[in-house]
Structure 1
């Protein structure tokens, strides 16, 4: 049984992941086997709305599920076989993830891996140097609708796609596209794969619209809504058909956790970390394109 530790408890993911892994207070159809969350450092970011209230509520849920609280991220080392870095504030991810990787602890970092490409690259390089598994992803990557289309079964090879999601400013100082909007970017990359070379974008108080050009000529779009009830969805055009779907979130945490625990067991991340880096680079380039009004190149990673 793999022992998992959690760093930071200001995101509902800390409780939702623990319920599924520890089989605690959730329907059996949501259970994930092979691991147990045993300890957590109950830190939180004051940039998260209602952070202290959420932290107290989520910490109590973890205690109810048998999770021990510790007084620092470093205290987890030696107690656990793997770790989740889970603050809602992506700016808090770099330091504990770096510490865990340096100590050889396989690590899943909640989305976004970091809010800066330079930091994410450093983590990826450290993980490769130390040969420690590292993964970060949006759970929307594993929605059944996205998986089916990405596999080629539904519409053949995808030749173009557009995705939507909320893109609200939920954590002070973090652009909406880096927070909620990353879900739409991750769906787009799941459908098209890596290889975006440049982006253009326009932004208003109501949202952001991003167009990306892939190196093979395919085009992909992301629309993040600040106002309105957007939900998560996509339209994909394939070689044999077209599919337009709103994405079901019913089992996305379960399916993500299956992939993460498999990584902890095998030391093989589900996707190449360079794709995760490119997703962050895409978002940084899109934000710059929206500010400048110019097309922005995405660096080769």
Structure 2
């Protein structure tokens, strides 16, 4: 059955058995854009000796559109990424139209969120499932528009930071989430003027926070310092408290702590890209996003609300009300 969450239609699994997709009839995927993720994901998915959890998906082709010079990687970096992608057996094409003719699904790996709607829309119209790397867009309006377009075209869409799939956050997410009383997470949070503050890199720590807390943030307030870093405190349902610290000064890294009824757990750090790639492969095999549109939209609303609170001197911002302003039921 189809359902609707936060005004976005949920696309059900279109495959009855995952094993219908094997190494012999692997789904062909296309990458849009060059980045470290383009290189890493191609290497994992096109490895001739990959494990069973990655079987069924193969990166077939790459299309690299011109990027915005204010956030683009250097020519040397781009060449290195492209060399790695091509070495993995990926062909290059000169247009989105050519890419769509060759593949069953699309990964948007452009580093910049601003052109993502332009890049996503042809895939959605063609009914090709899409993974959109962070940030989904440059602001909440852009994020909502992309997810509403996916719903309109009834095409599955998925986005996530790799920090969601650390082993310890996932253990809590899958077996202990109902015991979580609160959590603190942290990550680097450099700013990029074309994007809402935390979208550019703070998304990593915020995604980790939501992995263990789940949805349901009612309100939040900002108490950080723009030069040193952001401190955002959210109040969830049942008066649970979640805190994100975005670092801009001092030693940076990824991590956090979850406070449960009967224990306190260190969330660990960055476990590499592979766990996320496993989830991406599962998404394309099943057409079912492992992170719901509801949760992704709330994550971006949380980061937008944090920006609003900062501009208002730390005033509390009601997250569901912000979502309603953009046509999403909170």
CA shift in 2, pair 1:16/1:68, >3 Å = same
Equivalent residue for 1:4?
Answer: 29
Contact 1:166 1:181 (C-alpha < 8 Å) held by counterparts = yes
Contact 1:45 1:87 (C-alpha < 8 Å) held by counterparts = no
- Residue 139 of structure 1 deviates from its aligned partner by 0.9
d(CA) in 2 for partners of 1:77, 1:219:
44
Equivalent residue for 2:180?
Answer: 158
Equivalent residue for 2:189?
Answer: 167
CA RMSD of aligned residues (A): 2.0
- Residue 31 of structure 1 deviates from its aligned partner by 8.0
d(CA) in 2 for partners of 1:109, 1:50:
19
Contact 2:196 2:304 (C-alpha < 8 Å) held by counterparts = no
Equivalent residue for 2:106?
Answer: 83
Contact 1:144 1:248 (C-alpha < 8 Å) held by counterparts = no
* Greater RCO (CA < 8 Å, at least 6 residues apart): 2
- Residue 201 of structure 1 deviates from its aligned partner by 0.5
Q: Does 1:283 align with 2:303?
A: yes
Equivalent residue for 1:21?
Answer: 45
Q: How does 1:120-269 map to 2 (within 5 A)?
A: 120-153=143-176, 157-169=179-191, 171=192, 173-174=194-195, 177-204=198-225, 205-250=227-272, 253-269=273-289
- Residue 72 of structure 1 deviates from its aligned partner by 2.0
d(CA) in 2 for partners of 1:117, 1:177:
12
Provide, for residues 160-182 of structure 1, a one-character-per-residue CA deviation record: whole Å limited to 9, x for no partner: 0010001123x553355212210
Segments of 5+ residues of structure 1 without an aligned counterpart are none
Contact 1:21 1:31 (C-alpha < 8 Å) held by counterparts = no
CA shift in 2, pair 1:131/1:156, >3 Å = closer
d(CA) in 1 for partners of 2:89, 2:108:
19
Count of residues in Structure 1 that have an aligned counterpart in Structure 2: 294
The structure 1 segments of at least 4 consecutive aligned residues displaced by more than 6 Å after TM superposition are none
d(CA) in 2 for partners of 1:161, 1:274:
20
| TM-score in terms of structure 1 length | 0.91
CA shift in 2, pair 1:54/1:265, >3 Å = same
d(CA) in 2 for partners of 1:28, 1:59:
21
